[in-house]
Amino acid sequence: MNSNSGYNGLFDPMLAPGRTLDFAQQGLSNKTVGNPFSEKAKMSVRNLNVYYDNKQAIHDVSLDIKRNEVMAMIGPSGCGKSTFLRCLNRMNDTLDNCRVEGEVTLDEHNIYDRKQDVVPLRARVGIVFQKPNPFPKSIYENVAYGPKVHGLVSRRAQLDEIVEDSLRKASLWDEVKDRLFSPGTGLSGGQQQRLCIARTIAVSPEVILMDEPCSALDPIATARIEELMAELSQNFTIAIVTHSMQQAARVSNRTAYFHMGRLIEVNDTRRVFTNPEHELTEAYITGRFG
């Protein structure tokens, strides 16, 4: 999104009264309100700028993600929250036209360092995508994939154990234990997404990134995944991008509000949804636009 163009079709002018429109266009500062920083940071991002070709998608974002917390990122479409998330395990490297500036550290080590290899990084920072994308292999093979490529196991029994353990953690085991060798693509959408989570857990990452993991699921499947996130946060650090403010309110400890490539506000989730500091955050969570 162009930094100077201001309003460019994000909000429907018919729905948004003049005032909202005006102030959504106001010159946005790169300063974040709230408390984006923390002592117990698992990952910290400093002065992150991301460009697609010449368009800047992220403007000077700094943020800490605490150990074992669930950090939710919300904001209108195109605000850069998914781009931000994908920077955290360098998934943006797969896009030819994407350029990243700034620093992202994992346990105080810069992952954009020249010497950093993305393979171990992605094993430590796993990602679950918006649309369930199980491999066209059996359920077992899907979960065993990561441990196999990383050479984590030497014996079949160990692999079996990891697969069962991961499926249990993803609360999928009881549903699939009798058909581990049938194709993963044959599961329902919600089960597929939990399979993808199990697949991510199987390489025992430290951080799990979730990019709108429930947007393709029905409410019941969504509820299961949300329960799961609460359990997972005991062992993992989780960053989740979501379009549903209710979901952010239900699952997260802290919430970050993004707007047009800028990080507007970061606070405890309860604070953001009851007493937001910034008027843009307030406008968004009260449904005046977005």
Partner 1 sequence: MQYIGYKGNELTYMETPTLIIITLLCATGAYILGRNRASNIAYRAGKKNVLHSLPYYYGVLSALWCVLPCLFIVLAWNLLDDYVVHTAIVKLLPGSVQALPDSEIELMVNTVINNALYPNALIGSNPPDYILQAGQDYLRWQQLSQLSLTVVVLISLGLAFSLGWLWIKPKVHARQQVERVFQWFLLFCASIAVVTTIGIVLSVLFESLRFFQSVNLFDFIFGTHWSPQTALRIDQVGASGAFGAVPLFLGTLLISFIAMLVAVPAGLMSAIYLSEYASPRFRATVKPILEILAGIPSVVYGFFAALTVAPFIRDVGDLLGLDVSSESALAAGLVMGVMIIPYVSSLSDDVIKAVPQSLRDGSLGLGATQSETIKLVVIPAALPGIVSGILLAASRAIGETMIVVMAAGLAAHLTVNPLESVTTITVQIVTLLVGDQEFDSPKTLSAFALGLMLFIVTLILNYVALYVVRHYREEYE
Q: Is 199 in the site for partner 1 (CB under 8 A)?
A: yes
- Integer Cα distance of 232 and 234 in angstroms: 5
Question: Applying CB under 8 A, does 241 fall inside the site for partner 1?
Answer: no
Mask for 92-111, x = binds partner 1 (CB under 8 A): --x-x---------------
Alpha carbons 266 and 73: distance in angstroms, whole number: 9
Q: Single out the residue of 10, 74, 104, 121 in contact with partner 1 (rule: CB under 8 A).
A: 121
The answer to whether 74 and 81 have CB atoms below 8 angstroms apart is yes
Residues 6+ apart with CB under 8 A from 288: 16, 20
* Binding flag, residue 7, partner 1 (CB under 8 A): no
Distance CA 55, CA 50 (A): 9
In the list 134, 261, 276, 290, the residue contacting partner 1 (rule: CB under 8 A) is: 134
How far are the Cα atoms of 127, 141, 143, 172, 216 from residue 138, in angstroms, in the given order?
20, 5, 9, 14, 22
Considering only 75, 80, 126, 290, the residue that binds partner 1 (CB under 8 A) is: 126
Smaller CB separation from partner 1, 200 or 267: 200
Residues 6+ apart with CB under 8 A from 5: none
Nearest approach, Cβ of residue 131 and partner 1 (Å): 6
Q: Is 62 in the site for partner 1 (CB under 8 A)?
A: no
Instruction: Decide if residue 146 touches partner 1 (CB under 8 A).
Output: yes
For residue 121, the one-letter residue type is L
Counting contacts by CB under 8 A, is residue 185 touching partner 1? Answer: yes
Shortest approach of partner 1 to residue 103 CB, angstroms? 21
Name, in order, each residue with C-beta under 8 angstroms of 267's C-beta and a sequence gap of 6 or more: 34, 35, 254, 255, 276, 277
Residues 185 and 176 sit within 8 Å (Cβ to Cβ): no
Q: Give how far the C-alpha of residue 197 lies from the chain's centroid of Cα atoms, to the nearest Å.
A: 12
Contact by Cβ (8 Å): 122, 87? no
Please, which residue, 127 or 225, has the CB nearer to partner 1? 127
Q: Minimal distance in Å, beta carbon 121 to partner 1?
A: 7
In the bound complex, what is the minimum distance in angstroms from residue 135's beta carbon to partner 1?
A: 6
The span of 10-18, 36-44, 100-108, 197-205 binding partner 1 (CB under 8 A) equals 197-205
**Closer to partner 1 at the Cβ: 91 or 283?**
91
CB of 95 to partner 1, least distance (A): 10
Q: Which of 220, 227, 254, 246 is nearest to 68 (CA)?
A: 254
Task: Select 80 or 184, whichever has its Cβ closest to partner 1.
Answer: 184
Query: Which residues make up the interface to partner 1 (CB under 8 A)?
Result: 89, 91, 94, 96, 118-123, 126-127, 129, 131, 133-137, 145-146, 149-150, 183, 185, 196, 199-200, 203
